Each structure stands twice: as structure tokens, then as C-alpha cells.
Amino acid sequence: MDEQTALPEDAPVCASPLRRRLWLALGYAAVGLGIAGTVLPLLPTTPFLLLAAGAFAKSSPALRDRLYRDPRFGPLLSGWQAEGAIPRKAKAAALVGMSVSWAIVALTASRPLVPILAGTCMAAVAVYIVTRPSPSTPAPEGAASDGATAVEDGGNVSALRNEA
């Protein structure tokens, strides 16, 4: 890996086989939820991928590296880790998703306090999202930080299982 694509130091891998398997299972579950979040408007993607990266760092650094090199998820993770940045498209998607969610809650709630509380929480999250910087060096759309690796192995989730 060169300087630009180098990942931060790995956390020590768990010595206990049981704990390692639990971290690995958590990582796979988080990747699954992150993938679901790419197509389900109300499910976030990035927090689950951050969780997966942390779990894989404790169980399988190779899977963690693979996640960071994925053409779809790698730029999100790298931008967040390097500078706490959220891309503009991700911000817009999050805000639209929260707005639609709040509208559904407001229209279906039986008590007026429910939309008020939900709106307050969503407003706080929206302020947090909007105040995060955008990545300073945006990667080209659909490009991984290390394109050669992503092309070689196809960049699909099934390859994750082969490296475990």
C-alpha cells in the first residue's frame, strides 16, 4: 500500500477464538445492515460500516482492509476516518430520509408528543450531519482508493467470505 491508501494501525486481533468469532459475526452482520442501508431509505449505511471496520480490525484485519478498498464503501469510511467527513450526496440522502420519516410519524402518530420528540431527535442528528465537513479530496464516483485491488477481486461481498 502506498502513503495515500495506507490504513491506520490495526487494533490487536483477539487472542480468544470465541471472542474473535463474535467480532467476526458482528462485522458480517454490520456489513449486511450497511448493504441493506444502500437500498432502504430509512436505514443508515455509514454507521454500520464503521462498526464493521472496527469489528473486523479485532477479528480479521484482511477483511477490514478489504472493506476500506471496496469501491462503494471505502471512500465513505476513509473520508470519515481521515477527517470526519460526510459526502454531500450522503448528507442529502440522510436529510431526505429523515424528513420522509418524520412526515410519516407526524401523519400516523396518535399523540402530538410523538412527532415533537421524533422531530427534536431528528433535528439534532440533522444539525450534526450538516456540520460535518465534506471530503476535501473527493474520489471519482464509484472509484476505490486502490482501484487495482478492487478490480482484481470484483469488489463484491462474496469475496469477503473467501478471505476469512
Long-range (24+ apart) CB contacts under 8 A made by 2-7 are 4/145, 5/69, 5/145, 5/146, 7/64, 7/65, 7/68
Domain that holds residue 76: 14-84+137-164
Is 57:11 a contact under the CB 8 Å cutoff?
Answer: yes
pTM: 0.60
Is 67:53 a contact under the CB 8 Å cutoff?
Answer: yes
Domain shared by 100 and 64, yes or no: no
Cα 142 → chain centroid: 15
What domain count does the chain have?
A: 2
8 lies in some domain? no
Residues 6 or more apart in contact with residue 99 via CB below 8 angstroms? none
5 lies in some domain? no
Instruction: Encode the chain (164 residues) as per-residue pLDDT tens digits.
Output: 444 444 555 557 777 889 999 999 999 999 999 888 878 766 777 788 889 988 998 888 888 889 889 888 888 888 888 888 888 988 888 888 889 889 999 999 999 999 999 999 889 989 998 999 988 865 555 544 443 333 334 443 433 333 44
